[in-house]
Structure 1
Amino acid sequence: MSESSAPARFPVTVDVVALTVVNERLNVLLITRLIEPFRGSLALPGGFVLPGEDLVGAAARELAEETGVARMPGHLEQLGSYGPGGRDPRGDVLTVAHLLLAPNFPVLAAGSDAEHAGWYPVDQALESLDLAFDHRQILVDALERAKSKIEYSPLAAVFCGEEFTVAQLRGVYEAVWGTRLDPRNFHRKATGTAGFLEDTGRMTTGDTGRPAALFRLVDAARPAPGQPTRAVLNPPLMRPRP
């Protein structure tokens, strides 16, 4: 192999797009960078992959170091690769972005190279916040993946926790898709889709209004820990198109 055809060498990083629903709005987890480049700017949690570390392990470590979340909840999957050129003022850096869909979890503390960590509404992050590196484009891609993912898979329930009402599940679809859905039509589709939900036989208690039935994912729709779900909704719950 000639010197001109030798493989390129450059650092590899991971970034985590963590999405959850807070007060009926889709939120993304962002940190305020403590170091250059982009010191003081908002960014996705992430950092360099260490020697001997796999990508998922690096994503989990960076999330823990920068937000205090020691154990990643919910569903994690690889989103895509970005770079290496043109995205980092330090030079060529390839990043592998990951998408985390999770129920609302507390951000315990910022650390490592993060000054602050917290949840931000996705629409605000895209419309009015200046994100470091190419993180805005990564967030745009992650949002589209999440919108599509909950059409064809049962992963919308990941945002809800173990048990939930159909109204709570509908709230997730509305937050991710950014649209209002007809309650009766959604209830019919969600409960009528085979391999999706099962009635627990229990009802909500202690809330205002009438008690509502509690549902959960059927066993076949539950992703194994650390593994992507392979369950498919048939028919899918398609988002309204303009």
Structure 2
Amino acid sequence: MVGYMSRRDRFRYAVAVDMIVLTVREQALQVLVIERARKPFLGKLALPGGFLEDGENLDQAAHRELAEETGLDAETLHIRQFRTYGDPDRDPRGPILSVAYVALMPDLPIPIAGGDASAARWTPADDLLSDPAVLAFDHHRILSDAVDSARDLLSHTTLATTFCPPEFTISQLREVYETVWGIELEPSNFHRKITRADGFVTPTGGKASSDGGRRATLYRAGPATQLYPALLREHHPKNARQAGEHQELSTL
């Protein structure tokens, strides 16, 4: 029994949480990153996160680390546990199991660095994903998985509304899809399919302000969480319209 316990202790993992906070800013899908103030990877960009403290559960640790390192309040975010990463060599300090959380909100404020972070800022996700060496640890893989998941979820859930303000126009919702998917969508086709999707959006009865043109109808998120039929995206560059190609949003 003593030998068994020693063997188990030798392979015990430490537990940490990492946060992937996504928002739409400046017409781009952006992610919250920090500049590490400690070794390992001193001065390198990373996702906010850290180790569990005594008496904490995973959700409490994720909320605390986000507040300490960025000044953002997790209670105001659409946050969910995403995936667990446990490769033995993912951290030079030893075997560390990381539970990743994804948080989504529209146009979040400028973060305030603290804790293990010397700086915190929003950065376009595509810029970080273009070079696997930019982020510390295995955070390039974690971010890539989270962005792929968000793009897929937009097809068959109502996730896109979490990137919008409480009241929004169909054009604003379309901009979310275009930004996250990296394509352009034909406006009238998108409007028709979104407003026909059962429970996706609900008219508020109000109209958006206008500079003289036709005032657009305001909507809020509807009761549905899943979309059927799903919305499909085409893998085309976002400048497709400039090239004269109008992309249609299709359904299964």
Structure 2 unaligned segments of length 5 or more: list them. Answer: 237-252
Question: Secondary structure, in 3 states, of the residue corresponding to 1:85?
Answer: coil
Cα distance in 2 for residues equivalent to 1:203 and 1:178: 28
TM-score (norm 2): 0.87
Cα distance in 2 for residues equivalent to 1:110 and 1:209: 42
Aligned: 1:96 with 2:108: no
Cα offset, 1:108, TM superposition: 3.9
The residue aligned with 1:35 is 38
Structure 1 unaligned segments of length 5 or more: list them. Answer: 222-230
Cα distance in 2 for residues equivalent to 1:142 and 1:98: 9
Change in Cα spacing, 1:59 to 1:122, as seen in structure 2 (3 Å) is: same
Question: Secondary structure, in 3 states, of the residue corresponding to 1:132?
Answer: coil
Question: Secondary structure, in 3 states, of the residue corresponding to 2:76?
Answer: coil
- The number of aligned residues is 232
Aligned: 1:6 with 2:8: yes
Could you give the per-residue CA deviations for residues 161-216 of structure 1, whole angstroms, max 9, x where no partner exists?
20101010001111111111111111111111001111111111155643211111
Question: Secondary structure, in 3 states, of the residue corresponding to 1:50?
Answer: coil
Cα distance in 2 for residues equivalent to 1:121 and 1:75: 19
Larger of the two Rg values belongs to structure: 2
Change in Cα spacing, 1:20 to 1:208, as seen in structure 2 (3 Å) is: farther
Contact 1:74 1:103 in 2 (8 A): no
Q: Percent identity?
A: 47
Aligned: 1:85 with 2:85: no
The residue aligned with 1:210 is 214
Cα distance in 2 for residues equivalent to 1:119 and 1:67: 11
Question: Secondary structure, in 3 states, of the residue corresponding to 1:163?
Answer: coil
Equivalent position amino acid for 1:103 in 2: P
Cα distance in 2 for residues equivalent to 1:24 and 1:238: 21
- More deviation, 83-92/31-40: 83-92
Aligned 1:6-155 pairs, distance under 5 A? 6=8, 8-128=11-131, 130-155=134-159
The residue aligned with 1:236 is 230
The residue aligned with 2:205 is 201
